[in-house]
Amino acid sequence: MAKTLYDKIWDAHVVADNGDGSALIYIDRHLVHEVTSPQAFDGLRMNGRKPWRLNANLAVADHNVPTTPDRVNGIKDPISRAQVDALDANCAEYGITEFRMNDHRQGIVHVVGPEQGATLPGMTVVCGDSHTSTHGAFGALAFGIGTSEVEHTLATQTLVLKKAKTMLIRVNGHVGPGVTAKDITLAIIGRIGTAGGTGYVVEYAGEAIQDLSMEGRMTLCNMAIEGGARAGLVAVDDKTIAYAKGRPYSPKPEQWDAAVANWKQLHSDPDAKFDAVVELDAKDIEPQVTWGTSPEMVGPVSARVPDPAQEADPVKRNGMEKALAYMGLDANTPIEQINIDKVFIGSCTNSRIEDLRAAAAVVKGRKKAANVKLAMVVPGSGLVKSQAESEGLDKVFLEAGFEWREPGCSMCLAMNADRLEPGERCASTSNRNFESRQGQGGRTHLVSPAMAAAAGIAGHFVDVRAL
């Protein structure tokens, strides 16, 4: 029978079938960070259990770490420090590999995994973080889990899972210049809604997806969860295989040919059936900007803030009214007339080298607008940071008046000192524009790195293609 990519990965990981649509599924890779793991390690200790397979785990502190250079002296905030210390202590106690804060390999867990080759095609990858969907870019089944499942994975190297439905999202044709993976993924969420993918694993296909680099595919899959899908997938091709070569956790030279032969099977069979199919035309996708407090509240930069009065569904209308009140926006305001206070370029969505190059290309030779109080660039990992510095990107940003920081989650969720003040408006390359996500009362507009950079230069949103 013809199989989808999801079916193939699922079938290869069934330890025991429960016969009721659920199965015990083997987990190849478990990524661990400081926020969702301490209670899981406590659970292990309380029950006298040990990790099942140590080398399946890779840990890194990312959410709480400061991004200022003085972090070489440790974390000042005592509560953040306690959480990072707890991760260090737990990893040391159990013998789990961890990249500590000042290790040059440290960074956001979803940037670090692929960079180390710890994420490989065909794997099952989990992490106590919803944006684990990022790793689906490699044709890996990757999804976020809660802390109880972190404990379950540590203790058993498996999870009890219900098989999901499958959705194919095909983006036909090619996007125009200045339109990026971020715009594609936002346009998809605009189409299907934040609950559109609930219960599904999404596979992205079509020319526009094949065109994307591995970085772009990670951006795309990163936001699968914002469309409700626990996991996103892209079939393996030559780009995937080239990326997976020669990294610390990649197959060893003597394993390489067998691995590649296996990976070449990792695509949906041509006549495989999906439970749902959504199609978009790439040429219709413009640079996107969110205007509300949910990623589905999004539109092209050329549009206006929508008018709730035009919405027929009362639940939706009410949601839009609440969102506009929170965002401090009037209906029908042109998006390009929205002024911003801060710019954040970073997060597991857009902090890889390609993202920084795209932002730097816009910023080069220009200056940050006077009304923009802070524009910060936070590389996704220490390795991304040094790559960018070797290309001189740090200088480009600094000359334009942008700040260049140490790697971490930073203002994506503002668990460290980087945050919006109440009422401040931010052009952000992160993935969530929820109320207070970037700081209590802060207002987030999600955009691509090039669009965030352009907004930082103009002081308001602009179509980066017109700069």
By a kind-dependent CB cut-off of 5 to 8 A, residue 108 interacts, out of another protein, ligand SF4, none, with: ligand SF4
By a kind-dependent CB cut-off of 5 to 8 A, residue 174 interacts, out of ligand SF4, another protein, none, with: none
Using rule CB under 6 A, residue 413 touches ligand SF4? yes
Minimum Å gap between C-beta 146 and another protein is 4
Residue 64: CB atoms within 10 A of its CB come to: 23
Minimum Å gap between C-beta 436 and another protein is 5
Using rule CB under 6 A, residue 215 touches ligand SF4? no
Residues 47-106 that bind ligand SF4 (CB under 6 A): 62-63
Minimum Å gap between C-beta 79 and another protein is 4
Minimum Å gap between C-beta 192 and another protein is 12
Identity of the amino acid at 158: T
For the residues of 225-258, what is the DSSP string, one character each? GGGT-SEEEE---HHHHHHTTTSTTSPPHHHHHH
Minimum Å gap between C-beta 62 and ligand SF4 is 6
Question: Residue-wise over 230-240: b if at least 16 C-beta within 10 A, else e?
Answer: bbbbbbbbebb
Minimum Å gap between C-beta 300 and another protein is 22
Minimum Å gap between C-beta 441 and ligand SF4 is 19
Q: Distances in Å between the alpha carbon of 218 and those of 141, 253, 351, 442? A: 13, 26, 11, 26
Q: Taking contact as CB under 6 A, which single stretch among the options 272-280, 353-361, 362-370, 408-416 is the one that binds ligand SF4? A: 408-416
Minimum Å gap between C-beta 428 and another protein is 14
**Among 84, 348, 360, 362, contact with ligand SF4 (rule: CB under 6 A):** 348
Closest CA to 452 of 360, 333, 327, 387: 360
Identify the helix (H) or strand (E) that includes residue 345: strand 342-345
**Among 409, 427, 447, 453, contact with ligand SF4 (rule: CB under 6 A):** 409
Q: Taking contact as CB under 6 A, which single stretch among the options 167-175, 249-257, 336-344, 409-417 is the one that binds ligand SF4? A: 409-417
Size of the site for ligand SF4 (CB under 6 A): 13
Please tell me whether residue 356 adopts helix, strand or coil conformation: helix
For the residues of 74-128, what is the DSSP string, one character each? ---SHHHHHHHHHHHHHHHHHT-EEE-TTSTT-B-HHHHHHHTT-S-TT-EEEES
- Name which of 62 and 151 has its Cβ closer to ligand SF4: 62
Q: Distances in Å between the alpha carbon of 173 and those of 238, 268, 282, 308? A: 20, 19, 5, 33
Evaluate whether 363 touches 402 at the Cβ level (below 8 Å). Answer: yes
Identity of the amino acid at 310: Q
By a kind-dependent CB cut-off of 5 to 8 A, residue 294 interacts, out of another protein, ligand SF4, none, with: another protein
Per 3-state DSSP, what percentage of the chain is helix, strand, and coil (rounded to 5)?
40, 20, 45
- Name which of 36 and 240 has its Cβ closer to ligand SF4: 36
Minimum Å gap between C-beta 92 and another protein is 16
By a kind-dependent CB cut-off of 5 to 8 A, residue 348 interacts, out of another protein, ligand SF4, none, with: ligand SF4
**Among 431, 433, 438, 448, contact with ligand SF4 (rule: CB under 6 A):** 431
Determine whether 308 is exposed, middle or buried from the number of CB atoms within 10 Å of its CB (0-12, 13-18, 19+). Answer: middle
- Name which of 122 and 449 has its Cβ closer to ligand SF4: 449
- Name which of 290 and 431 has its Cβ closer to ligand SF4: 431
Distance between CA 383 and CA 111 in Å, rounded?
Answer: 10
By a kind-dependent CB cut-off of 5 to 8 A, residue 57 interacts, out of another protein, ligand SF4, none, with: none
**Among 23, 126, 412, 458, contact with ligand SF4 (rule: CB under 6 A):** 412
108-137 footprint of ligand SF4 as x/- string (CB under 6 A): x-x------------------x-x------
Determine whether 155 is exposed, middle or buried from the number of CB atoms within 10 Å of its CB (0-12, 13-18, 19+). Answer: middle
By a kind-dependent CB cut-off of 5 to 8 A, residue 265 interacts, out of ligand SF4, another protein, none, with: none
Phi, psi (rounded to 5 degrees) for 185: -70, -35
Identify the helix (H) or strand (E) that includes residue 446: strand 443-446
- Name which of 62 and 286 has its Cβ closer to ligand SF4: 62
Q: Which residues pair with 100 in a beta bridge?
A: none
Determine whether 68 is exposed, middle or buried from the number of CB atoms within 10 Å of its CB (0-12, 13-18, 19+). Answer: middle
Question: Which residues of this chain interact with ligand SF4, rule CB under 6 A?
Answer: 62-63, 108, 110, 129, 131, 347-348, 409, 412-413, 430-431
